[in-house]
Amino acid sequence: MNDSDAKLRRRTVASRILLSYALMALAFVAVTISNVGSQRAAARDAEMMRAGYFPLVLALRNASAGQDTWNTQLNHITSARNPSDKALWFETTLQLGRSRGFSEIRAALARVFDSATLQVVNSQLVSQTRDVEEFLTGDAKLIKNIFEALKQKDSARAESLRDELVTRGAQGRRLLGDLESAVQDQITELLDKARAREGRAVTLLLIWTMLSLLVGALVALYARRVLRPLSHVTARARVVAAGDMSPRPVVYTPDEIGELASTFEAMVLAIREANEKLLTTERLATIGKMAAQVTHEIRNPLSSLALNLELLEEELQEADSETRSLLAAVQGEVERLTALSGRYLSLARSSHPATESEDLGQLAREAVNFLRADLSRSGIEVELAVQGDLPAALVDEGQIRQVLINLIRNAQEAMATPGQVTVGLKHTGDSIDITVDDEGAGIETEHLGRIFDPFFTTKSHGTGLGLVVTREIVEAHGGSITAESLESGGARFRVKLPAARSSDSESLN
Ligand code: ADP
C-alpha cells in the first residue's frame, strides 16, 4: 500500500463525525416521516368520516325516517277525512322529499368513495341505492290510483291498493335498512382498519425511536472513541512541556489525530536531538578554545624539543644502547604529544570544508598507500575495493583524507593480531558509501551509542577525539557516519557522502 492509497483510505476525523451526525439526522428524518405518514392517514380517515360517512349515514337515516312516516301515513290513507290533503302530502313527498333524499345519498356516496380502492364497494352501494330508488318509484302510480279510487268511492279497490302500498312500503323500508347496514359495515371496516393502522404506526414509531436512540448512543460512543487519542496527545504535550523529552511509542490512529501524535513525537525527537547537538557543539567549542590555547603553548616547545632530541641523537651516536633506547623512548613520547596536540588543533580549526569536485577512489588510494607501510609493520594488509564508475563528490580533499586516515588508524588499533583492513567505495542512490572493515574485536553493544561522544575512549592512550573530528567533517559535508559490529567479528564504519550532481562530475572530467 503506497502513501497516496493510505491517504485515500484514511478518513478524516471531521468527515467521520460528520458522517455520524448524518446518520443521526437520517434516523431522525425516518422517525419524522413515519410519524407524519401515520398522522396524514389518520387525518384522511377523519376527513372521510366528517365529509363522507356522516352525511351518508344522516341521509340514509333521513330516507329511512321518511319511509317510516310514509308507511305510517299509508295506514290512514283510506280513512282520511280529507283525502285531497293527504294526496297533496303524498305527492310532495314523492316529488320533493324522496328525490332530494336520494340525491343527498348519491352526493354523499360520491364524496366517500372517490378513491380508486373503494370503487368496487362504491358501485355496489350505488346500484343498491338505484335499486331502492327505482323500487320506490313504483309507488307514484299506486298513489295516483288509490286517490282516484277514493274519489270514485271505490273503497274496495282503494283498500287493496293501500295493502299493496303498505307491503311495498315495508319492503322499501327493508331495502333502505339493508343499505344502511351495508354503509354501517363499511364504517366498521374503516374504523377497524384505522385502529389497526394506528397500532402499526405506534409500533413503528416506537421501533424508529428506539433505533434512533440506539444510533445516537452509538454515534456518541464512536465520537468518543475517535477523539480519545487526542487526550493522549494532550497528556504527552504536558509531559514534554514539563521537560521530559524521553521518546515514547506513538499510539497511531489512521487520521489527523494519529498524524498529529506521530508529528508531535517526531518534533520531540528533533528537539531532543537538536538539544544534544547543541550540548556537543558547546562542549566542542570549549574544547576548541582550550585546544587552541594549549596547542599554542605546547607545540612550539615540542618542536624545539624534537629538534634538540635529533641533535642529541647525533651527538650520542657512540653512546651505549641503554642511553639510545632512553632517547628513543623520549622521542616517541614527544612524537605522541605532537600527534595529540595535532588532533586538538584539528578540532580547534574545524572549519567549513572548502569543497571541490574530487575523485574519492583516487583519494582513498592515496590514503591507503600513505598508511600501507606502517600497517604492514603490524602485519596488517589493506585491501582497497573501488567501484568502477564511481561518480565524483564535492569534498574538501584534506578533510576527507583525514577521515580515511582516522578510520584506518582506528581499524589498525582495533586489531591485536595480523589481519586485513578492507576499504570499499561504491555508489548507492545519491551518495557514495565508504566502508572501512577490520578484523578486530568489534564494538561492544553498550559502546555503540557512545563512540562518537567527545573523550569517549577504551584505549589507555586514547583521546576519544578521533571519531568526534571524523563525524564533524562528514556532517559538514552533508553526509553521515555509522558504526556496526560485523557478524564475522570486527567492526565496520560506513561514511555516506553525497555524490556530485552530473554537472559537477562533468567538471571533473
Ligand atoms: P580513540 O581512538 O582516541 O579512542 P576515537 O574517537 O577514534 O578515539 O575512538 C573512540 C572509541 O571508539 C575507541 O576508543 C574504541 O573503543 C572505539 N573504536 C573506534 N574504532 C574502532 C574499531 N575499528 N573497532 C572497535 N572499536 C573502535
What span, in angstroms and rounded, lies between the C-alpha atoms of 429 and 499?
Answer: 9
In ligand 1, the atom with minimum distance to the C-alpha of 458 is: 14
**Does residue 380 have its Cβ closer than 6 Å to ligand 1?**
no
Query: Which positions of the chain have pLDDT values less than 50?
Result: 1-5, 8-9, 116, 505-509
* Gap between the Cα atoms of 45 and 42, Å rounded: 5
Ligand 1 atom having least distance to the Cα of 468: 6
Neighbours of 204 (CB within 10 A): 16
Q: Quickly name the fold that domain 354-508 has.
A: Heat Shock Protein 90 (3.30.565)
Find the 414 Cα to ligand 1 centroid distance in Å.
Answer: 8
Ligand 1 atom index nearest CA of 410: 20
Ligand 1 atom closest to 411 (CA): 23
pLDDT at position 409 is 94
Cα 358 to chain center, whole Å? 50
Closest listed residue to residue 431, CA positions, set 470, 368, 481: 481
In short, whether 414's Cβ falls inside 6 Å of ligand 1 is yes
Which of 451, 469, 482, 484 has the most ligand 1 atoms within 8 A of CB, as the residue to mutate? 451
Q: Is the C-beta atom of 485 inside 6 A of ligand 1?
A: no
Going by DSSP bridges, is the β-strand pair 480-485/491-498 parallel, antiparallel, or unpaired? Answer: antiparallel
How far, in Å, is the centroid of ligand 1 from the Cα of 462? Answer: 8
The answer, yes or no, to whether any atom of ligand 1 lies below 6 A from the CB of 449, is no
> pLDDT at position 421, please?
96
Q: Give exposure, 236-262, as e/b (b: 16+ Cβ within 10 Å).
A: beeebeeeeeeeeebeebebebbebbe
Q: What is the pLDDT of residue 491?
A: 97
For ligand 1, whether the C-beta of 467 sits within 6 Å is yes
Per-domain residue ranges for the chain?
A: 3-220, 251-349, 354-508
CATH class, 251-349 region: mainly alpha
- Output the CA 346–ligand 1 centroid distance in Å: 17
Pick the atom of ligand 1 nearest to 447's CA: 16
Instruction: Give me the pLDDT at residue 351, please.
Output: 66
Nearest-angstrom CA–CA distance, 418 and 337: 27
Beta strands in 295-389 (DSSP E): 356-358, 380-386
Locus of grid cell 614527544 = 334
Query: What is the grid cell recorded at 194?
Result: 384505522
pLDDT in tens, 416-430: 899 999 999 999 989
pLDDT tens digits, one per residue of 139-189:
888 888 988 888 888 888 888 988 898 999 899 999 999 989 988 888 888
DSSP secondary structure string, 242-270?
Answer: TT----------SSHHHHHHHHHHHHHHH
Q: Which residues have a Cβ under 8 Å from the Cβ of 172 and sit 6 or more positions away?
A: 67, 70, 132, 135, 136, 139
